Chains A and B, each alone.
Chain A
Amino acid sequence: MNREDIIKPENLVYRRTPVLTDNVMHYCPGCGHGTAHRLVAEVIEEMGIQEKTIGIAPVGCSVLAYNYFEVDMQEAAHGRAPALATAVKRLKPDFFVFSYQGDGDLAAIGTGETIHACNRGENITMIFINNGIYGMTGGQMAPTTLEDMKTSTSPYGRDTSIMGNPLKITELLAQLPGTCYVTRQAVYTPALVRKCKRAIRQAFENQKENKGVSFVEIVSNCNSGWKMTPTAANQWLEENMLPFYPLGDLKVSK
């Protein structure tokens, strides 16, 4: 078999989706952000909505997400992505609108915007990367940081009597009438990646039916912030994050 035989379209197993740009991502090797980006991009490609999608990037490690998604993107101030998404969707209701946020952005500084966008039932998709830490600023405590977990601002472990409890924001949002689909996924094994992609697809499909907020939490790693190798971080995620943040659908409205 020569090269020409191999590169026939019918032999294609994998290619980079054109909804991601050529830019080299700046994420640390092993970080879950890259995978999450790919899944969102693939869903947009498969639904054929690249030209009708507007994404909102947060402030956090994924601040440069606008360089990676080949769709129109807006860069919000820290925590305010749901506010921008609200306005975009209301002004352009035939567009698919998604926000992409970390835990600090979505569940600390932007809690108000998050809750109110969800409560109003904005017809948008919210992607939430929960890595239990502030990756971008160098590993400080996040609202989702686990009890006893060490970060640079909880150097002896999160003491919940002083620093408050890890926030299950996703459970909270599932209570709100404005959310139609709330699910928690992960992307550290191939099987979970496929499952997560189905969830993201659902979250975008829902926009066609004007059902309200579709919310996909992705429990992710931050090997740099956790100060672990990528493999150790994935193992740590499974053993520590998942018992507290169990995977699965929290709410699926008909």
Chain B
Amino acid sequence: MTEEIIIAGFGGQGVLSMGKILAYSGIMQNKEVSWMPSYGPEMRGGTSNVTVIISDERISSPVLSVFDTAIILNQQSMDKFEKSVKPGGMLIYDPNGITRHPERKDINIYQIAATDKATEIGISKLFNMIVLGGFLKYKPIIQEEFMRKGLEKSLPERHHKLIPDNLKAIAIGSEIIKAYHTL
């Protein structure tokens, strides 16, 4: 198993930390992982993205141009990364703020209204965990117990009391994600 993922959105949406939690959970489940962020001034209020690879084998390039899964959280990232999904791959996006919906017909596309849901139930900070939950529903590469361990490892101790909320947000994500176009 090798899963090559790009997560892209605005800085401040928790893009990098979502990737980090996924990577840490991968380690807990004894996988090989890599997490490669975009860096530099584009982080200042602009777009930010991270490539996460989870694999049973030694990982070759941490930098990729095509992906099994793209998780897209703003329009700029849609414009940039829709075309980078491998044929037959998966695209997950939050329709909030999207003005041009994905158009590809050779991939599976899912919508997750995580921004709206997170605001509605008052957990805006856990928006990214809702998205992660949606992803894990269709790519169950990490089991729940390892997600828990991954959260323990990646969150500072003082935030550990929030782990149950994080797991709940992941569960919500798997409930609200819906198909937009499937093969």
Measured CB to CB, the residues of A under 8 A from B are 26, 28, 224
* A28 to B46 alpha-carbon distance, docked (Å): 11
Any A CB within 8 A of the CB of B44: yes
Chain A residues within 8 Å of B41, by CB: 26
Measured CB to CB, the residues of B under 8 A from A are 41, 44-45
Give, as a whole number of angstroms, the nearest-CB distance from A1 to chain B: 39
B43's nearest neighbour on chain A, judged by CB, is A138
Q: Tell me the interface secondary structure of chain B in the complex.
A: loop
A27's nearest neighbour on chain B, judged by CB, is B44
* A28 to B44 alpha-carbon distance, docked (Å): 8
Chain A residues within 8 Å of B45, by CB: 28
A to B contact number (C-beta, < 8 Å): 4
Q: Tell me the interface secondary structure of chain A in the complex.
A: loop
Chain A residues within 8 Å of B44, by CB: 28, 224
A28's nearest neighbour on chain B, judged by CB, is B44
* A26 to B41 alpha-carbon distance, docked (Å): 10
* A224 to B45 alpha-carbon distance, docked (Å): 10
A29's nearest neighbour on chain B, judged by CB, is B45
- Nearest first, the 4 closest Cβ-Cβ pairs linking A and B are A28-B44, A224-B44, A26-B41, A28-B45
* A190 to B93 alpha-carbon distance, docked (Å): 45
* A26 to B42 alpha-carbon distance, docked (Å): 11
* A71 to B46 alpha-carbon distance, docked (Å): 29
Chain B residues within 8 Å of A26, by CB: 41
Give, as a whole number of angstroms, the nearest-CB distance from B84 to chain A: 27
B41's nearest neighbour on chain A, judged by CB, is A26
Give, as a whole number of angstroms, the nearest-CB distance from A210 to chain B: 40
* A28 to B45 alpha-carbon distance, docked (Å): 9
B45's nearest neighbour on chain A, judged by CB, is A28
* A243 to B128 alpha-carbon distance, docked (Å): 42
Give, as a whole number of angstroms, the nearest-CB distance from B44 to chain A: 7
* A224 to B41 alpha-carbon distance, docked (Å): 12
* A26 to B43 alpha-carbon distance, docked (Å): 13
B40's nearest neighbour on chain A, judged by CB, is A138
Give, as a whole number of angstroms, the nearest-CB distance from A253 to chain B: 41
Chain B residues within 8 Å of A224, by CB: 44
* A26 to B44 alpha-carbon distance, docked (Å): 10
A61's nearest neighbour on chain B, judged by CB, is B41
* A4 to B41 alpha-carbon distance, docked (Å): 43
Chain B residues within 8 Å of A28, by CB: 44-45
* A28 to B41 alpha-carbon distance, docked (Å): 11
Give, as a whole number of angstroms, the nearest-CB distance from B151 to chain A: 23
* A224 to B12 alpha-carbon distance, docked (Å): 13
A138's nearest neighbour on chain B, judged by CB, is B43
Interface pairs (4), CB distance under 8 Å: A26-B41, A28-B44, A28-B45, A224-B44
* A224 to B43 alpha-carbon distance, docked (Å): 12
* A116 to B45 alpha-carbon distance, docked (Å): 39
* A127 to B38 alpha-carbon distance, docked (Å): 34
A136's nearest neighbour on chain B, judged by CB, is B41
Give, as a whole number of angstroms, the nearest-CB distance from A252 to chain B: 39
* A224 to B44 alpha-carbon distance, docked (Å): 9
Give, as a whole number of angstroms, the nearest-CB distance from A60 to chain B: 13
Give, as a whole number of angstroms, the nearest-CB distance from B149 to chain A: 27
Give, as a whole number of angstroms, the nearest-CB distance from B31 to chain A: 31
* A78 to B44 alpha-carbon distance, docked (Å): 22
Give, as a whole number of angstroms, the nearest-CB distance from B39 to chain A: 10
Give, as a whole number of angstroms, the nearest-CB distance from B45 to chain A: 8
Give, as a whole number of angstroms, the nearest-CB distance from B41 to chain A: 8
* A150 to B41 alpha-carbon distance, docked (Å): 21
